[in-house]
Amino acid sequence: MSPLDQLDRTALLIGGDRREASDGATLTTENPATTEPLADVPAATPADVDDAVSAAREAFRAWRDTAPDERGRIVHRIATEIRDHAEELARLESTDQGKPLSQAESDIEGAAAYFEYYAGAADKLEGASIPVGPDQLDYTVREPYGVSGQITPWNYPANLFARGVAPALVAGNAVVVKPAEQTPLSSIRLAELCVSAGLPEGLLNVVTGYGDPTGQALAEHDGVDQLTFTGSVPTGKHIMRTAADSVTPVTLELGGKNPAIVFPDADLGAAAEWIATGIFTNVGQICSAADRVLVHESVREELIDRLAGVVEGYTVGPGTEDPDIGPLVSEAQHETVSEYLEVGRSEGATVRVGGEPMDRPGYFIEPTIFTGVDPTDRVAREEIFGPVLSVLSFEATDEAVSIANDVEYGLVAGVFTNDLTRAHRLTRELEAGNVYVNTWFGDTNQTPFGGYKHSGIGREKGLEALDSYLRTKNVAIDLGT
């Protein structure tokens, strides 16, 4: 059965009911490899968002009082449901988002793993007992916020759905998710699987729709107690300002312009492979992509030759054929990245590989390597979110660190060296929430992930993510006579 056979069931999920938008409006999601429409999904109105938040609030009360080990068991069953439908989900994701099938499979496996990982934490969310003297008993409890509003982007729709929903549920919250308009299908299907796994009605609600009004209505809703957002810096700042009105805490995972620093003593072959994987996976539409290489002058040409060699072997095609390079997600993203190819050239960068949109249907862009890029160039400073690598060079280590840190972002950074002391020194000096040494994408479900500076607030993944979904209550009991 094709995963698209599921699409006649596209609908909002509110309080366990599947329904259309209250005004009947829809949006169309397309296949970015062909630009053909795939499905119409509801464009939720603020009234629909209001219903979803009410349903979540209602379901929250019973869920909060469900024994934590039982919460964990239910959430664990979601992981099993996802694994049982992994192939279907991966095909759906690849078709709607455009990514190569094997990458979609890995995203879905990661989604199942989030539910498993957090399920195991459900009955371990302990408080502390605090010694304040013989006349008072003092302890803390960790309580859920209530309703978590989650706004997800189009680059990893299914995986990021799980990354936010799993810890929120385990901590005892109810959730309303607003997926990106370009890629709503996997979230709709995942929500169905959560219900078939036995998650009580209303605990998880999905409102498909546009950023404004659907996402906006969620961000400003009085009944939302916590917000999780992944996306661009401008929208993240806007969400934070909106949340300020109701003093709602936000977790923001925004973009990056991540440096990979390569020293002459590194294994250059391995560095080239890691960096190519880092920038060309999901055609660069990754917040933690290896966007810019800072390579020591003495090995610059050799590294560039090796990188070009990797790229020249890439296959191109629709995601479902599992090539190395699929289409970008949308016409808008294709346009943005095409503009950056012009910007790089006009700033005087040299195109070593690629450099053009591809002459074929769909939103394809050639994997591109710009060399001779200066630290002040826009292609060295701005997040492109496409298959475009900027190569810069340095002479002294301090110079490399200052170029690496001199951008508004601070999500991830990579160091390639076999000098242990240098590696440790740089991990301390780099302003980034995640530092990789001789690898890329070193994060797992278990490791905390998030940004410094404009790259975000709070941490996703790992046990630390649970801190976003729990608040501390301190209890003081007088024992004096």
Q: Contact between 185 and ligand NAP (CB under 6 A)?
A: no
d(CA 409, CA 455): 5
The answer to whether the CB of 85 falls within 8 A of the CB of 109 is: no
Residues between 81 and 110 that touch ligand NAP (CB under 6 A): none
**Taking CB under 6 A as the rule, does residue 232 contact ligand NAP?**
yes
Q: Please, which residue, 88 or 96, has the CB nearer to ligand NAP?
A: 96
Give the closest residue to 35 by CA, choosing from 156, 182, 245. Answer: 182
Residue 186, interface with ligand NAP (CB under 6 A)?
Answer: no
Residue from 81, 105, 116, 287 carrying the catalytic annotation: 287
The answer to whether residue 366 forms part of the interface with ligand NAP (CB under 6 A) is no
Looking at the Cβ atoms of 193 and 412, the one nearer to ligand NAP is 412
153 scored as a contact of ligand NAP (CB under 6 A): yes
Query: Does 215 interact with ligand NAP (rule: CB under 6 A)?
Result: yes
Q: Does 287 bind ligand NAP (CB under 6 A)?
A: yes
Strand partners, 457: 252
The encoded tokens of residue 433 equal 């929430």
Diameter of the chain measured on Cα atoms: 84
| Segment interacting with ligand NAP, rule: CB under 6 A, options 17-25, 71-79, 118-126, 224-232 | 224-232
From 33-41, 185-193, 209-217, 373-381, span contacting ligand NAP (CB under 6 A): 209-217
Could you tell me which of 390, 408, 389 has the C-alpha nearest to residue 451?
408
- 230 forms part of the interface with ligand NAP (CB under 6 A): yes
CB of 390 to ligand NAP, least distance (A): 15
Q: Which of 150, 173, 216, 445 binds ligand NAP (CB under 6 A)?
A: 216
Residue 385 in the binding site for ligand NAP (CB under 6 A)? yes
| 210 is a site residue for ligand NAP (CB under 6 A) | yes
Q: How many residues bind ligand NAP (CB under 6 A)?
A: 28
Q: Which of 253, 366, 383, 460 is catalytic?
A: 253
Q: Is 93 a catalytic residue?
A: no
Active site residue 253: yes
For the CB of residue 196, give the shortest distance to ligand NAP in the complex, in Å: 25
Q: CA-to-CA distance for 341 and 343, rounded, in angstroms?
A: 5
Task: Look at residues 168, 217, 160, 169 and name the one whose alpha carbon lies nearest to residue 12.
Answer: 217
Q: 335 or 356: whose CB is closer to ligand NAP?
A: 335
Q: Does residue 476 contact residue 136 with C-beta atoms inside 8 Å?
A: yes
Q: Does 466 bind ligand NAP (CB under 6 A)?
A: no
Nearest by Cα to 189 from 45, 3, 33, 372? 3
Burial of 272-282, coded b for 16+ CB within 10 Å and e otherwise, reads bbbbbbbbbbb
235 lies in the binding site for ligand NAP (CB under 6 A): yes
- The residues in 29-58 that bind ligand NAP, with binding defined as CB under 6 A, are none
Q: Which is nearer to ligand NAP, 238 or 300 (CB)?
A: 238
- What residues are labeled active site? 253, 287
Q: Which residues contact ligand NAP (rule: CB under 6 A)?
A: 151-155, 178, 180-182, 210-212, 215-216, 219, 230-232, 235, 238-239, 253-255, 287, 336, 383, 385
